[in-house]
C-alpha cells in the first residue's frame, strides 16, 4: 500500500520521479523501486517523502484518518485482551 500512496502524492504534487528524486536526495531508481513495491521504505524514508510532499507520514500507510483510527482501535483492543 505505501507504494501506491507514494506515487499518488508525488503525482498530486506534480512531481516527476526525476523532480522528486532531486527534492528528496534519493536516486530516481530508488524512487521507482519504492513506487513499484519492490522495496519497502523505512520510517526515515517515509519521513523524507512526507516532508518533500508536505503530507503526514501516516498518510502513506492509511488512506484517511478514519482508517488510521480504526487501526489504532484494533491495536488497543488486542492490548486489552492480553491483560
Interacting residues of 26 by C-beta distance below 8 A, sequence separation 6+:
45, 48
pLDDT digits (tens, 9 = 90+) for 21-77: 999 999 999 999 999 999 999 999 999 999 999 998 888 988 777 887 888 888 888
**pTM beyond 0.85:** no
Residue appearing with cell numbers 501506491 = 4
Contact status, residue 39 vs residue 49, Cβ threshold 8 Å: no
Contact status, residue 65 vs residue 55, Cβ threshold 8 Å: no
The region, left, alpha or beta by phi > 0 then psi within -120 to 50, assigned to residue 28 is alpha
Residue appearing with cell numbers 512531481 = 15
Burial 26-38 (b: 16+ CB within 10 A, else e): beeebbebbbeee
Is 90 exceeded by the pLDDT of residue 12?
yes
pLDDT average, residue stretch 1-14: 92
Kindly state which CATH superfamily the domain 2-82 is placed in. Answer: lambda repressor-like DNA-binding domains (1.10.260.40)
- pLDDT bucket at 80, cuts 50 / 70 / 90: confident
Amino acid at each position: 500500500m505505501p507504494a501506491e500512496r507514494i506515487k499518488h502524492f508525488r503525482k498530486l504534487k506534480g512531481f516527476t520521479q526525476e523532480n522528486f528524486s532531486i527534492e528528496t536526495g534519493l536516486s530516481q531508481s530508488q524512487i521507482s523501486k519504492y513506487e513499484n513495491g519492490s522495496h519497502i521504505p523505512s520510517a526515515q524514508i517515509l519521513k523524507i517523502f512526507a516532508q518533500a510532499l508536505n503530507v503526514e507520514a501516516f498518510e502513506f500507510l492509511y488512506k484517511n484518518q478514519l482508517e488510521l483510527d480504526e487501526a489504532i482501535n484494533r491495536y488497543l483492543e488486542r492490548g486489552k485482551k492480553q491483560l
